[in-house]
Amino acid sequence: MNKSENDVRRRVREGDREAFAQLYEEFARPVYNHGLRLTGDWSTAEEVMSETFLTAWRTRARVQEGGGSLLPWLLGIATHKADNARRSARRRQVFLARQSSAREVEDFAARTAGRIDDARRLRAVQEALGRLRRQEREVLALCVWSGLDYQETAEALGIAVGTVRSRLSRARKKLARLADESAADGREPLVDGREPRARRGEVTSAAAIAALPVREELT
């Protein structure tokens, strides 16, 4: 157990604002990127990030010593926030679809320099992830993109390590099948052939990584 990590946990639990500010500086970007991958929308990802740290501050008393980095805890909160955001977006889409005279709103984001191609790639990732069950999508994002090991992912989602392994295995198989379908149809592959960075406990497979290069940065 890293003593400095244990000290951060203690200080955050006790409401040390300086320690929490350091926590934000260290993990704001990983939390934002996680939200972006799960929601496919930059502005929503920013909301997910903000709500994650607000919730973390409100629930800081639940932090216990001896658990290592607080990143799994934060990403667990972000996962739930992103899931709520996705459900809200679906409800809005259903509502707007029912409006007979709904006015089209111009998407100014498409004009933003450097984001047009990123948006296209992100939509491709979301198309692939949309074919997965929510539980599979969450495990894939945490293990593959955020680089958590199996134990940390289990901690973030509140599930068993064996469950993490089985969900990740199912997600990879489904994405591999989607990659084969895209190739057979002559479409641009939804799955990037490059391996992600190998990290603790991560199982890599070129045919099962929906990790298209999308610019991930706080704006």
Same-domain status, 81 and 138? no
Q: DSSP of 89-158, one letter per residue?
A: HHHHHHHHHH-TTPPP---GGGGSTTTHHHHHHHHHHHHHHTTS-HHHHHHHIIIIIS---HHHHHHHHT
pLDDT of residue 203: 39
Residues 81, 174: Cα–Cα separation, whole Å: 25
Q: Each residue of 162-214: pLDDT tens digit?
A: 999 999 999 988 888 877 776 666 555 444 433 334 444 443 433 333 333 33
Same-domain status, 56 and 20? yes
Q: Each residue of 140-154: pLDDT tens digit?
A: 889 988 889 999 999
Quick one: which of 86, 104, 95, 12 has its CA closest to 47? Answer: 86
Least confident range of 33-42, 84-93, 172-181: 84-93
Same-domain status, 150 and 209? yes
Cβ atoms < 10 Å from Cβ of 179: 21
Quick one: which of 52, 79, 56 has its CA closest to 154? Answer: 79
Same-domain status, 127 and 205? yes
Please report, for residues 27, 184, 195, the alpha-carbon distance to residue 218 in angstroms, rounded to integers and kept in the order given.
12, 37, 24
Same-domain status, 22 and 66? yes
Same-domain status, 93 and 187? no
Same-domain status, 89 and 130? no
The structural domain count of the chain equals 2
pLDDT of residue 199: 47
Which of 105, 129, 145 finishes a domain? 105
**If you search the block for the tokens 């994650």, which residue do you land on?**
52
Which of 52, 78, 105 finishes a domain? 105
Tell me, what amino acid is at 187?
A: R
pLDDT of residue 105: 52
Alpha helices (H) in 40-67, listed in sequence order: 42-58
Same-domain status, 196 and 119? yes
Least confident range of 7-11, 43-47, 53-57, 126-130: 126-130
C-beta of residue 122 within 8 angstroms of C-beta of residue 109: no
Residues 18, 6: Cα–Cα separation, whole Å: 15
Tell me, what amino acid is at 39?
A: T
Q: Each residue of 67-84: pLDDT tens digit?
A: 789 999 999 999 999 999
Between these two residues, 125 and 166, which has the higher pLDDT value?
A: 166
User: Is the pLDDT confidence value at 98 over 90?
Assistant: no
Same-domain status, 123 and 185? yes
User: Is the pLDDT confidence value at 93 over 80?
Assistant: no
Same-domain status, 133 and 211? yes
Which domain, by its residues, includes 189? 114-219
C-beta of residue 15 within 8 angstroms of C-beta of residue 58: no
User: pTM to 2 decimals?
Assistant: 0.68
Same-domain status, 76 and 168? no
Which of 105, 130, 164 finishes a domain? 105
Residues 8, 26: Cα–Cα separation, whole Å: 12
For residue 86, give the CATH number of its domain. Answer: 1.10.1740.10
pLDDT of residue 160: 95
Most confident range, picked from 52-61, 121-130, 172-181: 52-61
Q: Each residue of 8-31: pLDDT tens digit?
A: 999 999 999 999 999 999 999 999
pLDDT of residue 188: 52
Same-domain status, 1 and 99? yes
For residue 169, give the CATH number of its domain. Answer: 1.10.10.10
pLDDT of residue 100: 57
Residues 143, 201: Cα–Cα separation, whole Å: 8
pLDDT of residue 41: 87
